[in-house]
Amino acid sequence: MAEMTSVERVMTVLRRGEPDRIPHFEWIIDKRVRHVLCPGASTEEFTVRMGLDAMLTAPDFKTVQVAPNRFKNEWGIVVEKGEEQHSTVVQAAIQTMADFEAYQAPDAFAPGRFDSLQKLVARYKGKYAIGVHLNDVLSIPRNLMGFEELMLTFCTEPDLIRRLVEMSVDLNIQLAGEAARFGADFVFTGDDYSSAQGPFMSPNTFRELLYPGLKRAVKGFHDHGLPVIKHTDGNILPLMDMILDAGFECLDPIDPLGGMDMVLMKREYGHLVALKGNVNCATTLVNGTAEDVVRETLGVIRAAAQGGGLIISSSNSIHSTVAPLNYLAMLSTIKAYGRYPIRLDFDASGAGEAFS
């Protein structure tokens, strides 16, 4: 098969097809890991130098510092930046329906909202798949209220949940339209629905309060010509019928800590949706040997590569405690054994020795 560009490779997988080789990219690659493998490299530079397949960005929301390590953003939320690259919400913006009625969401069309996307498009359009992180139905309500308060509100004031979901969906469809206009190739949404034990709410509650908005969000993204990768950790099997019916092109990360088995997912759902994941970033990539990483990566290839529709990545992100050489072992294994037509009888004994 002729060599594809990264964007051709990723978009082929999102159509559940076979590319020239299995693509790879991560939502987050912590700077500590990046700088061991490529000293001083930004995420963009790292993507180019290491041969990853997607450039990722998000809408640009303004922030102002309000305390050491704490910042207030355009959503009216105060977040704290810690050791990891993502932030933690420490002060919510909405507690009651009255708060919601007085609330003003950010403007999707504000000047500069997609400056970061436009820079990536100018440099890499047609070479790398360019993805934009948006949301669907849960993360924005969670951030605006705080997780515990939101969970209580599902029981005490479902109408407020409906209003928050409606606002989230409306705004993110607008953002998707702008992202498409500026040249994005796909959307990924990061709203987690589950823990390792199961969904945060009952399937009936999800169906009543979140599912209608979820379908509307994905349809809105599709109406703007953008395929969607759905990220959610945990055990999502009780929600699978609704997640699949919403129409996502790809599911991520097929969380092994949530009991999500790649063999089962490929067998039961691989004809309906592409899969992304699922080398364990809680154990194997942190404190496993390089041989462990090679073995687990090959296990993902054996489980789900046949017929295409697979992106290999970690089971969440390359966070700060991932061993850099373990990440390199995963990436090298994908490149060495992930070329189509896939062979399932390969002998990879000793393949991890170079990283030990």
Residue 81 — pLDDT band, cuts 50, 70, 90?
confident
Which of residues 83 and 273 earns the better pLDDT score? 273
As given in the structure block, the two tokens for residue 46 are: 């790292």
Q: What is the pLDDT of residue 211?
A: 98
Q: What is the pLDDT of residue 19?
A: 98
Residue 1 — pLDDT band, cuts 50, 70, 90?
confident
CA distance 195 to 177: 31
Q: What is the pLDDT of residue 348?
A: 67
pLDDT tens for each residue of 102-142: 999 999 999 999 999 999 999 999 999 999 999 999 999 99
* Residue 263 confidence (pLDDT) above 90: yes
Residue 45: Cβ within 10 Å count: 12
Strand partners, 129: 54
Overall residue count recorded for the chain in this entry: 356
Q: Which helix (H) or strand (E) holds 228?
A: strand 228-231
- Work out how many domains the chain is built from and give that number: 1
Ramachandran quadrant class, 93 (left: phi over 0; alpha: psi -120 to 50; beta: rest): alpha
Which residues, 6+ apart, have CB-to-CB distance to 26 below 8 Å?
52, 313, 314, 317, 318
Which residues, 6+ apart, have CB-to-CB distance to 225 below 8 Å?
180
pLDDT tens for each residue of 284-321: 999 999 999 999 999 999 999 999 999 999 999 999 99
Tell me whether residue 1 is in a domain: no
* Residue 241 confidence (pLDDT) above 90: yes
Tell me whether residue 262 is in a domain: yes
Tell me whether residue 135 is in a domain: yes
CA distance 66 to 18: 49
CA distance 86 to 301: 29
Q: Identify the domain containing residue 221 by its residue range.
A: 6-355
Which residues, 6+ apart, have CB-to-CB distance to 274 below 8 Å?
13, 14, 15, 16, 249, 250, 251, 308, 309, 310, 311
* Residue 144 confidence (pLDDT) above 90: yes
Contact 4, 12 (CB under 8 A): yes
Contact 77, 92 (CB under 8 A): yes
CA distance 26 to 133: 12
**235 residue type, one letter:** N
Residue 85 — pLDDT band, cuts 50, 70, 90?
low
Q: Is the dihedral of CA 345, 23, 135, 225 positive or negative?
A: negative
Contact 269, 241 (CB under 8 A): no
Min mean pLDDT across 62-76, 199-213, 337-351 is at 337-351
Q: What is the CATH number of the domain that holds 114?
A: 3.20.20.210
Tell me whether residue 246 is in a domain: yes
In 3D space, the residue among 41, 44, 39, 40 whose CA is nearest the CA of residue 25 turns out to be 44
Q: What is the pLDDT of residue 343?
A: 86
**At residue 202, what are phi and psi to the nearest 5 degrees?**
-65, 150
Tell me whether residue 188 is in a domain: yes
Helices (H), the chain: 6-14, 31-37, 43-50, 97-102, 115-124, 139-145, 147-156, 158-181, 203-209, 211-223, 240-246, 262-269, 284-287, 290-304, 324-337
Ramachandran quadrant class, 254 (left: phi over 0; alpha: psi -120 to 50; beta: rest): left
**Average of per-residue pLDDT values in the chain:** 95
| HEC per residue, 55-96 | EEECCCCCEEEEECCEEEECCCCEEEECCCCCEEEEECCCCC
CA distance 308 to 60: 34
Tell me whether residue 73 is in a domain: yes
* Residue 35 confidence (pLDDT) above 80: yes
Tell me whether residue 181 is in a domain: yes
Residue 354 — pLDDT band, cuts 50, 70, 90?
low
* Residue 83 confidence (pLDDT) above 90: no
* Residue 339 confidence (pLDDT) above 70: yes
Tell me whether residue 15 is in a domain: yes
Contact 43, 34 (CB under 8 A): yes
Percent of the chain scored above 90 by pLDDT? Answer: 92
Q: For 37-57, what is the mean pLDDT?
A: 98
